[in-house]
């Protein structure tokens, strides 16, 4: 075995041409027992006909099998962990009666993880307070609000639903998306540009107004970004919102059968605490992963990085297809835009594998069960969710990966220099 680069190796494989020939003949004879050909009964096709028709494919199959087996044996004897698929090329100067191949491949690096006790990590925590519960109640009320038309002459204000016609132009020319009829939106909720909402706010049903509006430089419509338009808007209807009262009937409408309003608040607290727990865990895991990446030093196998890039590109195409993008499979997606992300994933994957191996951090059956049960609590039929996970190996593998990452996170936080930071509820949820 030769070392070509830091992780790149080359092994020369030597095979017996006679052994290859004999194996090809053996397989062709076996194939001849069942092969069919016009003018011959099954199993009675002459060997020269079988060889002419199937010889090339059988030769290719035998060569693949023999070279693969020889490479696996050589790599095993050399005690190397092969990263990716080797590149095989036949040599022309082999001795008579022999076939020789060069197998060029990469090996896994020796993962060196630095002193974790010197790593500094900020560990987040957060609590659910009454203000968070009140804010959630407001959201639930808005989801069930109704609207009634305002008395003629009343001005549109924040919270009102307005129905408008608008017509915009830039330098006297209309533009795509600049005109609509019977368009509805809620004032004050940020769906429209602030200048547009400001112009409509205070108008009365039946009124029209012309006003200028400058589109932001980063506006999603590139044709109008950074340009100034003139809009004519006509307010056709103003409706005020009616929010339901938070009482026992409201709680019952949300599925709370016992406890009334207090039962509803307790249920909201329970759900928010579950969400906070997951978000805090995700934030702390991210901090730990960042710390691990800084603490490790080793070269990355290009084969693993390339494979991860391909996977990320495939995911990007699948996402475009799901969004309804036409010809998503042919969309030009530069692979290099995923290189840094792929390198991070490979580096962390190898690092986590070493930490798990060296510190016995594998997921236990009890941990897997506990994690699934916790996730299932947010569903109406938890037992069905538990059975859904437990009955599928791929889903269980995904759960196992999450639990292992949690084990690694707890282990590293137990080793590192940790600074605790209490986050406000809004800060956490907006993160």
Chain segment 285-332, per-residue pLDDT in tens: 999 999 999 999 899 999 999 999 999 999 998 888 888 888 778 778
Rounded Cα gap, residues 205 and 151, in angstroms: 9
Reading the block at residue 398, the tokens are 């995904």
| DSSP H or E run through 286 | helix 260-295
Rounded Cα gap, residues 306 and 343, in angstroms: 9
Q: CB atoms < 10 A from the CB of 291, how many?
A: 21
Mean pLDDT computed over 30-49: 82
Q: Check: CB of residue 125 under 8 Å from CB of residue 427.
A: no
User: Please, what are the domains in the chain?
Assistant: 2-107 (3.30.70.1050), 146-242 (3.10.50.40), 270-429 (1.10.3120.10)
E strands, 68-186, are 82-90, 98-107, 112-113, 120-126, 146-149, 161-170, 173-186
Look at residue 281 and tell me whether its pLDDT is greater than 70: yes
Q: What per-residue confidence (pLDDT) applies to 46? A: 84
Chain segment 205-250, per-residue pLDDT in tens: 999 999 999 999 888 766 888 999 999 999 999 999 999 999 999 9
pLDDT confidence bin for 431, thresholds 50/70/90: low
Secondary structure of residue 214 in the 3-state scheme: strand
Look at residue 36 and tell me whether its pLDDT is greater than 90: no
The C-alpha angle with vertex 47 and arms to 46 and 50, in degrees rounded to 5, equals 95
Q: What is the pTM of this model?
A: 0.75
Q: CB atoms < 10 A from the CB of 128, how many?
A: 20
Rounded Cα gap, residues 273 and 278, in angstroms: 9
Reading the block at residue 126, the tokens are 């957060």
Q: Check: CB of residue 127 under 8 Å from CB of residue 309.
A: no
Ramachandran region of residue 411, left (φ > 0), alpha (ψ -120 to 50) or beta?
alpha
Q: What per-residue confidence (pLDDT) applies to 51? A: 87
Rounded Cα gap, residues 234 and 207, in angstroms: 6
Look at residue 343 and tell me whether its pLDDT is greater than 90: yes
> Helix 339-359 vs helix 302-322: angle between axes, to the nearest 10 degrees?
120
Q: What per-residue confidence (pLDDT) applies to 327? A: 79
Rounded Cα gap, residues 8 and 107, in angstroms: 7
């Amino acid at each position: 075995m030769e070392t070509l680069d830091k992780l790149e190796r080359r092994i020369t494989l030597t095979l017996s041409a006679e052994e290859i020939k004999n194996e090809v003949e053996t397989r062709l004879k076996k194939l001849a027992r069942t092969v069919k050909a016009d003018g011959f009964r099954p199993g009675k096709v002459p060997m020269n006909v079988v060889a002419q028709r199937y010889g090339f494919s059988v030769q290719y199959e035998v060569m693949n099998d023999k070279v693969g087996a020889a490479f696996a044996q050589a790599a095993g004897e050399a005690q190397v962990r092969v990263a990716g698929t080797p590149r095989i090329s036949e040599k022309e100067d082999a001795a008579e009666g022999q076939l020789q191949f060069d197998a060029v491949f990469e090996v896994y690096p020796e993962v060196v993880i630095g002193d974790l006790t010197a790593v500094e990590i900020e560990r987040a925590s957060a609590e659910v307070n009454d203000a968070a519960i009140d804010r959630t109640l407001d959201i639930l009320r808005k989801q069930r609000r109704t609207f009634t038309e305002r008395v003629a002459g009343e001005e549109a204000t924040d919270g009102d639903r307005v129905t408008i016609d608008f017509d915009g132009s830039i330098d006297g020319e209309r533009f795509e998306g600049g005109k609509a009829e019977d368009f509805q939106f809620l004032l004050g909720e940020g769906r429209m540009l602030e200048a547009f909402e400001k112009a409509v706010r205070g108008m009365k049903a039946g009124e029209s107004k012309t006003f200028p509006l400058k589109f932001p430089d980063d506006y999603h419509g590139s044709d109008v970004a950074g340009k100034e338009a003139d809009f004519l808007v006509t307010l056709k209807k103003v409706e005020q919102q009616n929010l339901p009262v938070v009482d026992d009937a409201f709680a019952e409408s949300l599925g709370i059968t016992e406890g009334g309003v207090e039962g509803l608040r307790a249920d909201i607290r329970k759900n928010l605490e579950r969400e906070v727990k997951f978000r805090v865990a995700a934030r702390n895991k991210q901090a730990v992963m960042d710390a691990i990446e800084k603490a490790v030093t080793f070269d990355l196998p290009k084969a693993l990085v390339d494979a991860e890039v391909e996977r990320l590109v495939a995911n990007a195409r699948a996402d475009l297809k799901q969004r309804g993008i036409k010809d998503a499979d042919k969309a030009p997606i530069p692979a290099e835009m995923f290189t840094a992300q792929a390198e991070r994933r490979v580096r962390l994957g190898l690092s986590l594998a070493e930490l798990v191996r060296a510190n016995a951090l594998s997921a236990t059956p009890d941990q897997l069960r506990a994690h699934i049960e916790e996730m299932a609590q947010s569903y109406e039929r938890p037992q069905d969710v538990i059975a859904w996970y437990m009955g599928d190996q791929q889903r269980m593998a995904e759960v196992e990966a999450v639990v292992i990452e949690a084990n690694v996170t707890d282990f590293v936080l137990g080793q590192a220099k940790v600074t605790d930071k209490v986050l406000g509820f809004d800060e956490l949820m907006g993160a």
